[in-house]
Chain A
Amino acid sequence: MAFTYAISGGDWARIAPELALLVAALLVMLVDALIPARLRGALVIIGVMGVLAALAGVIMLYASSGSPSAFGGMVTSDPLALFATLVILAATGLSLLLSPGYIERQGTRQQGEFYALVMLAATGMVLMAASTNLMMIFLGLELLSLPLYVLCAFAPGQQRAQESGMKYFLLSSFASGFLLYGMALIYGATGATNLGGINHFVATHAMSATAGFGPILLGGMALLAVGLAFKVSAIPFHAWTPDVYQGALTPVTALMSVGTKMAAFVALIRVFDVALAPVRADWQGIMWALAILTMVGGNILAATQTNVKRLLAYSSIAHAGYLLIGIALGTQAGIAALLYYMAAYAVMNVGAFGVVLALERVAGLGTNLDDYRGLASRRPALAAALAVFLFALAGIPGTAGFVAKYAIFAAAVTGGHAELTIIGVVASMIGFYYYLRVIWAMYFVPAPDMPAAEAANANPHLSLAGLNSAVVTKLAASGTPLAFSAGLALALALIGTLGLGIFPAPLISLARQAAGLP
């Protein structure tokens, strides 16, 4: 048969990061089934080791030569996939470090499952970013979605968590249906599921309404755009985001907001900006409108929020809008800016969620804006960290957020879409308002009364299930002490946020390489 090809060890080496994450997930499950319950908190170590091993795999693949394609063009390890993998690994690693202590505080008894599902979701994200075939994109998407459905509903006995999981499951499966239908139509129109084959067909045939593939391809593109726009929570496909983000456990929210976005944006780049580049005129308008709607709408909706988790959810919608500029431009500079933006967003957003997590009590209490009043005097270190992350999200110079916004707006101007830059800057101005509102509450509004309730809620069993009990750092004088690993994660995110802002050059050159620029 013509399609038979020999699978060599080289093919498996091309997916080393995915394999490392998968092996870690399976190990977590196996060890979880064998050790007594009180030791299960230590399973996070296997997860972190898996992330580090995957990181080593990425470095190895960066150094390797030869064709990046593997398994007959199903997946690839080109610079774009590797860059996306780095971002996803950063988000996964930080989320894992944030989890110990927090998930016990939320009353979770199934810690092994939690870490196994996080690792499986990360595997799916990396796989989706590496896919060069519509079928693999779909499988990667399902592999990242299934664990996330469960993780969203993970907090035991909490109605908000169940609502979160159920909403995400129903709406996301519906969106997957759109995606799959779109893929089927594109296959019908072009006769290929391989992105290279689609590109070849579209490039060599004229789009016309009479001679065939026009209407079917247009329908397929529209449905595919709907499915992926849902995943990056672009307006008007955003309605699930605040409820799901608010109800899910905060490390899960942090992972979703970065990892899913990264994977879906790579799919958007590969399908629209690369494979369907010859018919750019037909999809560019849609992406242009989505970008504007999402930027403006996300920022306006965020400005009215009184819950910090919901506020960050709407802020993540707004950031999806800035990122969509990179897709709408369709230029390599736009893609490079998008990738850098995504890396910056990973550290600052996971960092912001990390501080929210440190202050959160059981069942989502302590995430209202009122709870942040006077935080600077109670927990100065956490307040300062949150201030840095919010400044970065707002795009203040000196932080990663500023460089990222600058890069994407500059790409829009040079790409001939100055109107996107103007709208983006105006939307960012609205963004300043709500980010500063949180900072204002922390630093300039006195606390209502001393948080006796918070002190009472501090869980005595906060240690890493007995392993790290000696190293629980006390970053604060009162309230829930921060687990050592969470402190480490916040420190890393802080270094990333400031480091990418002050020394952006290395990562920018990496992003340019991923976008195919010299």
Chain B
Amino acid sequence: MAPFVPILIMMGLAFAFVVLVTIVTFILGPKKPTPQKNAPYECGISEITPPQRRFPIKYLVTGMLFIIFDIEAASLVPMAVLMKRLGVTGLIELVTFIAILLVAFLYVWRKGAFTWE
């Protein structure tokens, strides 16, 4: 845990800064609302349908493929740490792992699942 304390402090500071700035602007900023100010900005028009819509499911395929390749990437983290000590054996093991997934990658590519329709 100890080596991560600086990171945690850093994250805490970043978070605190965001909260602080938000609060300060909220307190200091003058609030005098008029109908003009509440209208959509400049040339914008009022909404005619609710802005929330259902998204096409093709986002979902992208999301699923992202997860799978993300897991692949996460499996490579320990390899990166040990690169030197594993030597050639480790390289062969890694190449086997990647080669199997590369077939799947080629397949997805050729099938056009990466293409935006």
Q: Mark A residues whose CB is within 8 Å of B.
A: 7, 22, 26, 29-30, 32-34
Apart from A33-B106, A33-B109: 4 A-B pairs, beta carbons within 8 A? A7-B89, A26-B103, A30-B107, A33-B110
Chain A residues, CB < 8 A from B89: 7
The answer to whether the Cβ of B100 comes within 8 Å of any Cβ in the partner chain is yes
- Per-residue CB proximity of B72-101 to A under 8 Å, as 1/0? 000000000000000001000000000010
Give Cα A34 to B110, complex, Å. Answer: 7
* Nearest-neighbor residue (CB-CB) of B112 within chain A: A33
The answer to whether the Cβ of B10 comes within 8 Å of any Cβ in the partner chain is no
Give Cα A22 to B96, complex, Å. Answer: 13
Which 7 pairs across A and B sit closest by C-beta, in order of nearness?
A33-B110, A29-B107, A26-B103, A33-B107, A29-B103, A30-B103, A33-B111
* Nearest-neighbor residue (CB-CB) of B89 within chain A: A7
The answer to whether the Cβ of B104 comes within 8 Å of any Cβ in the partner chain is yes
* Nearest-neighbor residue (CB-CB) of A26 within chain B: B103
Classify the secondary structure of A's interface with B.
Answer: helix
Counting chain B residues whose Cβ lies within 8 A of the other chain, the interface size class is under 10
Give Cα A7 to B107, complex, Å. Answer: 30
Chain B residues, CB < 8 A from A32: 107
**Can you sample 9 A-B contacts with CB below 8 Å?**
A22-B100, A26-B103, A29-B103, A29-B104, A30-B103, A30-B106, A32-B107, A33-B109, A33-B110
Q: Separation in Å of the A149 CB from the closest CB of chain B?
A: 13
* Nearest-neighbor residue (CB-CB) of A116 within chain B: B107
Chain B residues, CB < 8 A from A7: 89
Chain B residues, CB < 8 A from A34: 110
* Nearest-neighbor residue (CB-CB) of A110 within chain B: B111
* Nearest-neighbor residue (CB-CB) of A27 within chain B: B103
Chain A residues, CB < 8 A from B110: 33-34
Q: Separation in Å of the A6 CB from the closest CB of chain B?
A: 9
Chain B residues, CB < 8 A from A26: 100, 103
Give Cα A304 to B107, complex, Å. Answer: 46
Give Cα A32 to B100, complex, Å. Answer: 16
* Nearest-neighbor residue (CB-CB) of B109 within chain A: A33
Q: Separation in Å of the A10 CB from the closest CB of chain B?
A: 16
